[in-house]
Amino acid sequence: MKQKTVYYCTSCGNETPQWMGRCPACGEWNTLKEHVEAPAKAARRAAPAEGGERRPKRLSQIVSGSEQRFFTGFGELDRVLGGGAVKGSLVLVGGAPGIGKSTLLLQICRELCKEQKVLYVSGEESESQLKMRAERLGVSSETLLVYGETEMEEILRAAKETEPDILIVDSIQTMYAADNTTSPGGISQVKDCTMALLQLSKQTGITVFVVGHVNKEGSIAGPKVLEHMVDCVLYFEGERNGPYRLLRAAKNRFGSTNEIGVFEMADHGLREIPNPSEVLLAGRPKGAAGTCVACAMEGSRPVLAEVQALVTRSFLNQPRRTTDGFDYNRAALLAAVLEKRGGLRLSDCDLFLNVIGGLRIDEPGSDLPVAIAIASSFRDLPVADDLTAIGELGLTGETRAVSNLELRLAEVARLGFTKCVIPRHGTEKLSAPKGLQLLRVRNLREAVEIALGQGSGI
């Protein structure tokens, strides 16, 4: 039988019959890779499902089942999953190598094994290496089964024999299907192995956690392809040399995709950070120009983070604009509004913007504190240590109210701030928490003058 040649996009997983310089689905350049599919895949795809022939049903005939959730032992992970892991779901935990994915999954076994049986399949470490890491993390249980295997058929056989409640596969890039002639880690191998795990979870009710690696160049397409197949996609973010890790849901069929979990990498594994605002503000300099505190909503949780800006005179024809943790285009827009509406000449200055702690802020409510931080650095005037700002900025320099303002103000007051700059429009009936003074402003110029101690709020 003639083999079929297709081209997969390593960025989004789109399949095309011929090579193109640019992917027609995601628009990325030079991401299409050639792959020769095995003829046996068509027969396997056409095989009937177990239990006989299946027929379409009326929607009224289908019995709806409730989501059966269980706690993982990590409150931050349960928050990101939407209140706990769902029985029979397939969860992908992705991230760069060495970020802490395997550590997190091995640590949750400590709590899960108290009432459930866990099968941990490791394709990267030997069974003895996994035990050494488990001893370092303090994980020990008779209901934790360890299996060093990379062939998917053997893993499915072991799952049927041991009948675990939870299956952990680390990692999907090391697994391979025997009837697929491509090398492990290839796009077709990842898809075939993930489909087998998906069928296992749906047919038996086993909750499956899958680890997916992303290399530094971002050329491995595994996690991108998996996003369309799994129920939840969780990404571990953060600097490998930094202590903090952010767990973010990119896809969740059973909950919100805006929640984040914060962890700290310690000597004995990951430690939860139930109050990330205090951690992100720790070590904040006092009386320094170019810094302001922003309050961003991460799902249902308000998180305070320090925004730092550095504005210096540029000796280049094209001044530099560098951002870390904030959208580059949004920073350029705010710089243009500050120059046009705020009277700050930033066109001949280099601008560097950073969000402390590895947090990424991408919501409109952070416009006002970022603009204040830039103005503070430009004028070399510090913002009061007990002042923060919340609000969106328009192109005409006007301030606009944002959502969940009461929750944000409650978090600001809880952490000891006594002043908060907010938009005037839409907040006339809003009452301030005890000990917090609201400084209402109409536009950017008023906000900058008040934050730098040269004006008074309304």
310 and 423 co-located in one domain: yes
Tokens 């990267």 belong to residue: 124
Q: What CA–CA distance (Å, rounded) separates 302 from 277?
A: 8
Give domain status of residue 197, yes or no: yes
4 and 23 co-located in one domain: yes
Give domain status of residue 307, yes or no: yes
Q: What CA–CA distance (Å, rounded) separates 120 from 166?
A: 8
pLDDT of 42: 43
Ramachandran region, residue 214 (left: φ > 0; alpha: ψ -120 to 50; beta: rest): beta
Question: Mean pLDDT of residues grouped by 10 in the chain (458 residues)?
Answer: 71 79 85 68 44 74 80 92 93 88 93 93 92 92 94 95 95 89 79 92 94 62 70 84 84 85 88 88 90 90 94 92 94 95 93 89 93 96 95 95 93 94 91 92 95 66
CATH code for the domain in which residue 197 is found: 3.40.50.300
Structure tokens at 295: 């309050």
Q: What CA–CA distance (Å, rounded) separates 441 from 437?
A: 13
**DSSP-derived 3-state class of residue 284:** coil
155 and 244 co-located in one domain: yes
Secondary structure tally for the chain: helices H, strands E = 12, 23
The DSSP 8-state label assigned to residue 398 in this structure reads B
pLDDT of 45: 44
350 and 371 co-located in one domain: yes
Give domain status of residue 63, yes or no: no
Question: How crowded is residue 224: how many other Cβ atoms within 10 Å of its Cβ?
Answer: 23
Cβ neighbors of 233 (< 8 A, separation 6 or more) are: 92, 94, 223, 226, 227, 249, 250, 251, 252
Q: What CA–CA distance (Å, rounded) separates 409 from 405?
A: 6
Burial class (CB in 10 A: 0-12, 13-18, 19+), 28: middle
Q: What CA–CA distance (Å, rounded) separates 134 from 103?
A: 9
Q: What CA–CA distance (Å, rounded) separates 192 from 155?
A: 13
Domain count, the chain: 3
Quick one: how far is CA 339 from the chain centroid?
Answer: 33
pLDDT of 49: 45
Domain boundary residue, one of 238, 258, 274: 274
Domain boundary residue, one of 246, 274, 302: 274
CATH code for the domain in which residue 369 is found: 3.30.230.10
Cβ neighbors of 30 (< 8 A, separation 6 or more) are: 21
Give domain status of residue 92, yes or no: yes
pLDDT of 313: 94
Q: Are 11 and 28 in contact (CB under 8 A)?
A: yes
Q: Are 421 and 389 in contact (CB under 8 A)?
A: yes
Give domain status of residue 220, yes or no: yes
Q: What CA–CA distance (Å, rounded) separates 122 from 124?
A: 6
Give domain status of residue 48, yes or no: no
Cis peptide, bond prior to residue 171, ω within 30 of zero? yes
Question: How crowded is residue 10: how many other Cβ atoms within 10 Å of its Cβ?
Answer: 21
Residue type, 375: A
**DSSP-derived 3-state class of residue 19:** coil
Quick one: how far is CA 240 from the chain centroid?
Answer: 15
302 and 264 co-located in one domain: no
pLDDT of 47: 42
The DSSP 8-state label assigned to residue 183 in this structure reads P
CA dihedral 73, 174, 23, 181 (to 10 degrees): -140
Pairing type for strands 437-441 and 419-423 reads: parallel
Give domain status of residue 324, yes or no: yes
Structure tokens at 374: 């830039």
Q: What CA–CA distance (Å, rounded) separates 200 from 369?
A: 49
Q: What CA–CA distance (Å, rounded) separates 84 from 77?
A: 8
Cβ neighbors of 79 (< 8 A, separation 6 or more) are: 259, 261, 299, 301
CA dihedral 171, 174, 180, 182 (to 10 degrees): 130
Quick one: how far is CA 126 from the chain centroid?
Answer: 29
Domain boundary residue, one of 228, 246, 274: 274
Structure tokens at 7: 């081209």
Contacts from 238-245 at CB under 8 Å and sequence distance 24+? 238/99, 238/358, 239/358, 240/96, 240/98, 240/99, 242/358, 244/273, 244/279, 244/357, 244/358, 245/99, 245/100, 245/270
10 and 117 co-located in one domain: no
211 and 285 co-located in one domain: no
In sequence order, which ranges of 229-366 are alpha helices (DSSP H)? 276-281, 328-341
137 and 267 co-located in one domain: yes
The residue range of the domain holding 221 is: 68-274
Give domain status of residue 85, yes or no: yes
Residue type, 300: S
